[in-house]
Amino acid sequence: MATCELRYPGTTRVLCLLEICCIYQAIGDLQATLVVATDGAKFLQSGSDQYPAFIPHKVEEKYQEKYQGQQVYWRVYPKVAEEGLAFDVVTLAEEPLFGSGQFKLQGDWIESGQLQIWRNAVAAKVNAHNWQPRLLPIDWPDAPAPDEAFWQLKAQLVDGTLKIVEAAGPFAHPPRLENQPKFSQKQQPQPPRLRAANPQPQAQQQTETNTETVDWENIIAVSGKLELTIKINTLPQVQQVNGEYHFKIDCDDHVFQVLVKPKLWIKLETASTSYEQWIAAISGKLGAATADGFVLEQPNIQVFERQSKTGASTKQEQAGAVEASAPEQVKAVGSTATNLSRDSMQVRPLRVRRWFSTSR
């Protein structure tokens, strides 16, 4: 994890995110109203500006049913169309992730004064064929000389232009898809043939297979929620400030800062004193980056008792002893019932004999 320096006033040194966060991307939020022209063309109107929009059918239906004519937040991918700046709509957002009109841009700063956004290398695993990078014009005041290096930028949409307000970099290029992946053509198996009496030499025919690829560039992504789960089995060192408990968890050299309420901390204390072995699952959302990791936001804690193998075997032996003693108890009860029935049969004849002797 390499450090970098922000190039704008009021900024200090920050850390690049984890490798999974250092990817090529351009995404943002736009508060706008959906406008449909007479020819069916769709636009997002923000203030007095209208931008061509490409909206999935389900997203458009949801807007017409719940928010028709209202301004809502749209999560969008910026791109260039013939009319200028346009957007691919991802989904409707109840709350903005970046702020209205704010965009997160990560790409290469090239000589033409544009940001070059490549396809990430992971696209090769899904046979992506549209590997050409996307060029995005930006307005970067006091920009450094184009160095074709990777930059992390924060932009604000102003009068139809993406104006850079914060910048971090340059960084090394993340893994990217720089050329079209090669697909191996496998020969289809031929059905067995009967051998003729006088075989004639024939040229071997090779059949070519049509390899179909997925056009990931034109597939609109849906919004998701990233949640983390951290498991611990030791009570961490805690610092209590303003009635809240602060502690750290080291996960593979990435330290997460956790802040919990007293009722959640009591769960950990109870587990450490009540159980011989225990495990706690701490879940939450990925927060802001820190000097050595991240902040875990909205944490929740679940504690479970963890039984050792010796304790489990002891319980199994006890259960087996109970099952073994059960048939003996049943047998004893059966013998007692048999003795009682014999005694009752012996008493009845005595009573009958006495009755006859009296009648005589």
Q: Which domains does the chain have, with CATH numbers?
A: 3-171 (2.40.50.140), 228-305 (2.40.50)
pLDDT, averaged across the chain:
75
Whole-model pTM: value is: 0.46
Which pLDDT value is given to residue 202? Answer: 52
Which pLDDT value is given to residue 221? Answer: 82
Q: What is the pLDDT of residues 148-181, one digit of tens each?
A: 889 999 999 998 899 999 998 888 888 877 655 4
Which pLDDT value is given to residue 352? Answer: 41
Split at pLDDT 50, 70, 90, the class of 29 is: very high
Residue of 178 and 246 predicted with greater confidence: 246
Split at pLDDT 50, 70, 90, the class of 311 is: low
In b/e form, how buried is each residue of 156-193, taking b as 16+ CB within 10 angstroms?
A: bbeeeebebeebbbbeeebebbeeeeeeeeeeeeeeee
Which pLDDT value is given to residue 328? Answer: 52
Please give the Cα distance from 189 to 198 (Å, whole number).
24
For the cut 80, the answer to whether the pLDDT of residue 314 exceeds it is no
Q: What is the pLDDT of residues 208-234, one digit of tens each?
A: 555 678 877 778 888 887 888 999 999
Q: What is the pLDDT of residues 257-278, one digit of tens each?
A: 999 999 999 999 998 888 888 9
Which whole number is the average pLDDT over 296-312? 81
β strands within 216-358, DSSP E: 228-232, 239-241, 244-251, 254-260, 278-289, 293-305
Please give the Cα distance from 133 to 143 (Å, whole number).
21
